[in-house]
Amino acid sequence: MRYIEVHIPEIAADLKEITIAYLPEFGFHQMEESESELKAYAAEIEANLDDLRLWLNNHQVNFRISFIEETNWNASWESNFQPVDIPGKILVRADFHPKQEGYEHEIIITPKMSFGTGHHATTKMMMVAMLEVDFSNKRVFDFGTGTGILAILAEKLGADEVIAIDNDLWSYENARENLINNSALNIHVSCQDQLSGLGVFDVVLANINKNILMEHSEAIRSVLNENGILIISGLLSTDYNDICLKYIYLFGNKIKQYHQGEWMAISFNL
């Protein structure tokens, strides 16, 4: 399978955040970013390249498109992947990084084409929000698990059982590898996008994007216990009003917001 790389060599910070938010609509869910640069990736069969070109041109974004083979992916990630930490609490590293002391939890993520290495603001905010939740003896659902990083953290924080799903085959396979690397025994991952038939959960995690969160809001409510906790991200701060218009009706107004740059996460406590 070939993949498409969209390389944006220079982009203003505010436009970069908007572009990241819209890229999934064109099939580009995997991204690398630096201060002024952005790269996005999609499987060739899933990418809507014509519409993406039109959107980027309309927003006056300079970009380059290239095609890469699946076998080239790891070398690209390994050359750029650096450990991520929440001081004293969580260290996220690749298996080729040395172990470090001084953290309560260590998560090993093999950097492949799956969203959720801890680098992006949304993943960091999800982890920070999770540290404020008591996961002991909880049943947890991770919707759109990507690398499996949040599912793994939930188990490390004491969850009894974690169900994780993703509709991307590459992410599913990567998550399975990461579960093995982290000796995660209580996590069950599957490749799907439907929430029916999974039962109910004490905590639901969903780091996806606004459109999917809006589309599946009622399904998410149906799998969350009456006294459950929902943590969502993949959202720009400008998405807040639209999200809350629907989510407060379903989940109530006991919320806490987390912000980093233009991005936000929200925790709902029923």
Tell me whether residue 27 is in a domain: yes
Q: Determine the structural domain holding residue 64 and report its residue range.
A: 2-77
Tell me whether residue 263 is in a domain: yes
Kindly state whether residues 137 and 264 are assigned to the same domain.
yes
Structurally, the chain folds into a number of domains equal to 2
Q: In what order do the strands lie in the sheet with 105-108?
A: 84-86, 90-93, 105-108
Q: Positive or negative CA dihedral for 240, 243, 245, 249?
A: negative
Which of these ranges, 44-53, 77-86, 104-113, 164-173, has the smallest mean pLDDT? 77-86
At residue 206's C-alpha, the angle toward residues 200 and 209, to 5°, is 140
CATH number at residue 247: 3.40.50.150
Kindly state whether residues 143 and 265 are assigned to the same domain.
yes
The yes-or-no verdict on residue 25 having pLDDT over 60 is yes
pLDDT at residue 225 in the model: 97
pLDDT at residue 68 in the model: 80
The partner residues of 40 in beta bridges, in order of sequence, read 6, 31
- Measure CA 158 to chain center: 21
CA separation for the pair 154, 156 (Å, rounded): 5
Q: What is the mean pLDDT of residues 35-61?
A: 90
Kindly state whether residues 245 and 148 are assigned to the same domain.
yes
Q: What is the mean pLDDT of residues 235-263?
A: 94
Q: With beta carbons less than 8 A apart as the criterion, state whether 123 and 117 touch.
A: yes
Kindly state whether residues 73 and 135 are assigned to the same domain.
no
Q: With beta carbons less than 8 A apart as the criterion, state whether 200 and 223 touch.
A: yes
pLDDT at residue 82 in the model: 78
Tell me whether residue 52 is in a domain: yes
Cα distances from 223 to residues 6, 7, 218, in angstroms, run 36, 38, 9
Strands, E assignment, the chain: 2-8, 30-33, 38-43, 64-69, 84-86, 90-93, 105-108, 139-143, 161-166, 187-191, 201-207, 224-236, 255-260, 263-269
Tell me whether residue 132 is in a domain: yes
Kindly state whether residues 230 and 121 are assigned to the same domain.
yes
Nearest to 145 by CA among 155, 160, 136: 155
Secondary structure of residue 103 in the 3-state scheme: coil
Kindly state whether residues 64 and 149 are assigned to the same domain.
no
Domain boundary residue, one of 53, 77, 101: 77
pLDDT at residue 71 in the model: 53
Kindly state whether residues 28 and 153 are assigned to the same domain.
no
pTM of the model: 0.80
The mean pLDDT value of the chain amounts to 90
